[in-house]
Structure 1
Amino acid sequence: MDETARGKSLLGEFLSRRRAQLKPADVGLPDYGDRRRVPGLRREELAQLAGVSVAYYIRLEQGLSLNASPQVLDALATALRLDDAERRHLHTLSGDVRQSRRRLPAERVTAAVRQLVDAFGDSPVVVLGQRSDILTWNRTGHALFAGHLAPDSPDQAATRPNTARMVFLDAHTRDLYADWPRKARDVVGKLRQAVGKYPDDPHLASLVGELTMRSPQFATLWAQHRVRAWGMNEYRMRHPMVGELDVLQHSLPVPRGQGIRLVVTTAAPGSAAQAALRLLNQTLQPTADMPATARPAAGTPAHVVPSVHP
């Protein structure tokens, strides 16, 4: 598929899917029950809500009109009840084909990024690329998220873990999140954002294809065209070594990093989760350097699940 056709497809799919997810009652329109032949809003209803002609909206949804004005896009976003991240996504999908339809450049971790990771000390840190690849981590980040994987697995593209793949295909990661469905929605929403920005990237296309074929849950969520913004999220994690902990995962853009982000995990001061993170870090120290109360029991393995690639 050429770049222009791909842009048409993504914009049309997004508008059609989000229109189908809105009920008439959601926007103050009468619901005629069984007499409605389409799920969600009709095209003419959405066009009326957005203040555009039905013919023009149909052309947009069919991909026959590109580069809609920002005013029209904002009106459609309001009519569709999109949040800020979804609104930006809509603008991206309708952007200039020559500017927005491109592939992701090679992603790498510079010395400056490694210094930034080191600046967070013992806090768990993971560096993510725009495809959700783990580009590097500190030892606490590795122990918290993927202690069952080789510590150096992010160093080579061939073995690099991917958080989307891990969330849907790796049993350890699925068990790690008490509210796995919410984590899954967040991961899919961020991946959807990346595909909207780089729809012709072959690695993204391959990842989405793999997950669609191997995970029915992913396929269902992907079809919903939901978008999630990067930011701060609260999760309850169930770690095999230190138990349950409520944490905040902060996503921080790397200056001049071309979309690379640091995900830093913290816990409330004085909380049981903060104590658990400290204990996790202490288990990574040589036994002779650890307080006796923090040493693992005799016979406890360094990682309690086998080493496998997600």
Structure 2
Amino acid sequence: MNSPKSDKELDEWLEHLASSTHSPQGKFSAEKSYGRLQSRLEPARRRRKMLSIRYTAAVAAGLILLLGFGWMFYSYQPPTRMLLALTGPETQQIMLPDSSKVTLNRYSKLSFPETFGKERVVELNGEAYFEVSKNPAKPFRVKANGVIVSVLGTHFNVNAYASDSLVETTLLEGSVAVSNPASGLETILKPNETAIYRQSDGTLTVQTEEEADDEISWREGIISFNDAPIEEIARQLSHHFNVPIRVEADALRNYKLNARFRQNETLEEILETLSPIGGFTYRTIQTNVIELKQKTKN
């Protein structure tokens, strides 16, 4: 007879063996023989069952460890190296990891990762013109002094110097969302519109630009003022030359001028041109601090 290969076959084999055993003296009956053999073989069955359970548990533990190590490897990847682009008295054009182009204005700073992940996020302190490569799967965001500019692919300008209370975003092409997460404010810009966020009162407003290209004329080496208040002119000249300029009179702050200058002109040359038109005088009151005062009438 062949050896049993399963529990069912084993039971049948034991029953056959017990029933075929003859004992003239009656010492070993079929029932007693079957019971004894069954009791002897039961521990062997339990051992096989325990070995099977242990094997299954070992496989499960191995899978858990494998998944755990995989999760740890994914979660604890070293952080992406951050890069920093700085400008002094000259503008600079840089290429981001996604082939987007950024032109940094004078005295500006842009930080960005060496490689982009699920999102494309950069941080700006200063002014920059962005030409963003389209990639709907990876939104592009500019963080600038509390404001977030979100785009998919477009051309826009952000003016956000840390020393300012204003953050201005001008859209030239495409569409952008400008938001302030702290206040929950958000607006969607259309081409030739500028979003102005005022940190002093937390407001976010939109104005239409008749000459939106004037907002990026600095890329061509031109400083352009189109019906701009002297306070705004002073702010832009302050960033352009990295010199604080103060306007002392309210009437002078709101006086509007039109003017265009080349970037190679000095601050003194520009003020000499504007002062008789704007009716103000200027002087240095502290080290590298210029004060504009309304001209007194004789």
Choose between structure 1 and 2: higher strand proportion: 2
Q: Give yes or no for TM over 0.5.
A: no
Which has more radius of gyration? 2
Tell me the TM-score normalized by structure 1: 0.21
The structure with higher relative contact order (CA 8 Å, sep 6+) is 1
* Structure with the largest fraction of helix: 1
TM-score, normalization: structure 2?
A: 0.21
